[in-house]
A and B are shown apart, each in its own frame.
Chain A
Amino acid sequence: MTTIRSEIPATVWQVKVAPGDKVESGDEIIILESMKMEIPVIAPSSGTISSVLVAPDDRVQEGDALAELDQ
């Protein structure tokens, strides 16, 4: 299992996956917002989303867990 973390302090704008969803490496799973820009969070590998840990409008800090991925 891989924990996908935020690399920046930001606000969660869109969550594009739900637990159980299959994703391919490089898919956008969450979009963060920082400085009026949309920052995509990319699946680091292919697999199944086992949990989503944030919702739109949540504030996240650098290093915070966003979702978990089962390879």
Chain B
Amino acid sequence: MTWKPEVEELERRLELVAGMGGEEGIARQHGRNKLTVRERLPLLADPGTFEEFGRLRGEGTYDANGELETFTPQGKVDGMCRVEGRKVVVTAGDFTVRGGSASGSHGGLGEELSASERALEWRLPYVRLIDNAGGSVRSFETLGRTYLPDANSFSHVDVNLLSTVPVVSAVLGAAAGIGALHTSLAHWNVMVDNTQVFPGGPPVVKAALGYEITKEDLGGPQVHVRESGVVDNLAASEEDAFRLIRRFLSYLPSSVDEMAPRGDTSDPVDRREDELLELIPKEPRRVHNARKLIELVVDEGSFFPIAPLYGRSRITGLARINGYPVGVMANDPMFLGGATDVAAGMKAARLMQLCETFHLPLVDLADEPGLMVGLDSEKQGIERAGARLVCITNACRMPWITIVVRRLYGVGGQTHHRATGMFRRYAWPSARWGSMHIAGGASAAYRREIEAAPDPEAKRDEIEARLNRLGSPFRTAEATGQDIIDPRDTRPVLADFVEDAQRVLVRQLGAPLIPYFP
């Protein structure tokens, strides 16, 4: 007696699964310059660590004797693997099987845990490799009926994941229907150059709105990485996307219950860069290089920008200081003069939520002229965006340090401060601040006096000069105790704060007080 025949059937089924959607589908995938799901997984996983689960799932047909005749695997591959030595759960769409769409049958009695449920229960980071065309009406024919759109029956797990473990989505092909939702139900996402994201593609747009548009114009990186901000980073290739995923995850703990892993500490904490002394131009109209500022103070080579092409007046990202992962943001005066528009405010709020959820200190290099003014900004709803930013800055608890390197004005300036918890603020001697700008403010506050003067322009200049003399940061420091530092001391000051922050962060471990909203 032996179980050999059954083991042979197991092997035969696994061979059928390994064949994905068949040679034709694989050739079509390669023809579109895309890798198959089984070529992708080894690029994400540390060598030899991928362990698939639910791999026998699919749809079989049987002959009169009950022997397996044909077998179609499910349109995805689920499993666990290690990324830089740490375990993650992966779910990866397989476009070669029905365009990666689900069969419409899920959640039956006796069904094993899904990948998302396993990530939640195991408290492991969750990585989605998205390549699926969304639901297909063909599934209605197979089922012989339609069904209510009850995807919340499993989306509630994805929502809980966001407040429990790091969630990353990579768009490697089509991301339509629920794929488009899954793109955004994440802490960070990336798309490859030749991919698209949309709830409904060009045929759906044509039917609903009557116009023709290519899938590239409708949901490509030009739209989502630059304009909508739906996708954070653009990858040049699939290999590049996997490299970025590995890097993003390296800054975060495996779950909200753990501290983020400390990295390389070879960059000296007392590194004082002379370049910082000359970084801010004395001429107020000249801009400084905010990206360079970040790179001079964080650990060498550790800065990872998030959404670098969207909301560009605020640079946001992750970095390390003395090996400890931190969130970093800086106003970029090259764009909108560094003002906070709706997009930049969204970026800042998302970074703060990321830091709050995964217990990272926040480093804020402020040069804030204020919330963006103008009709475009009003139409986008800058007031509510400002209110949201004020809410998150006051509701968060993670240790936060602000260095005012130059301007700090108005309500925008207010959002670089928190009145509670471990918050610390330093200023450079180049800093200037106020509840409003002197230039515009003088015209408003002294309007009658200016208009009545024989030479109104000279009068305004005179008033502005008088007010500007009050603008020295040392006058503020006299009254408030505001600490002003030599710009070259910035890195030592940050390193000291981030070290102290670890003791505070340990007490904040566990579920975040504010649920993470994408």
Q: Is B122 an interface residue (CB 8 A)?
A: no
- Which residues between 317 and 354 of chain B lie within 8 Å of chain A, taking CB atoms? 333-339
Closest to B309 in A: A7
Query: What residues of A have a CB within 8 angstroms of the CB of B337 in the complex?
Result: 34-37
Q: Is B392 an interface residue (CB 8 A)?
A: no
How many residues of chain A have a CB within 8 Å of chain B? Answer: 9
Q: Is the CB of B286 within 8 A of A35?
A: no
Q: Is A55 an interface residue (CB 8 A)?
A: no
Q: Is A15 an interface residue (CB 8 A)?
A: no
- Specify which of B286, B333, B334, B339 is in contact with A7 (CB 8 Å cutoff): B334
Q: Is the CB of B336 within 8 A of A35?
A: yes
Q: Is B395 an interface residue (CB 8 A)?
A: no
Decide if the interface of chain A is mainly helix, strand, loop or mixed. Answer: strand
Interface string of A31-50 (1 = CB under 8 A from B): 00011111110000000000
B413 to chain A, nearest CB (A): 16
Interface string of B170-181 (1 = CB under 8 A from A): 000000000000
Q: Is A53 an interface residue (CB 8 A)?
A: no
Q: Is the CB of A38 within 8 A of B287?
A: yes
Closest to B373 in A: A35
Closest to A35 in B: B337
- Which residues between 374 and 431 of chain B lie within 8 Å of chain A, taking CB atoms? none
**Chain A interface residues (CB < 8 Å from chain B):** 7-8, 34-40
**Chain B interface residues (CB < 8 Å from chain A):** 285-287, 333-339, 369
Known A8-B335, A34-B335, A37-B285; 4 more pairs at CB < 8 Å: A35-B336, A37-B337, A38-B285, A40-B287
- Chain A to chain B contacts (Cβ below 8 Å), 25 pairs: A7-B334, A7-B335, A8-B334, A8-B335, A8-B336, A34-B335, A34-B336, A34-B337, A35-B336, A35-B337, A35-B339, A35-B369, A36-B285, A36-B337, A37-B285, A37-B286, A37-B287, A37-B333, A37-B337, A37-B338, A38-B285, A38-B286, A38-B287, A39-B287, A39-B334
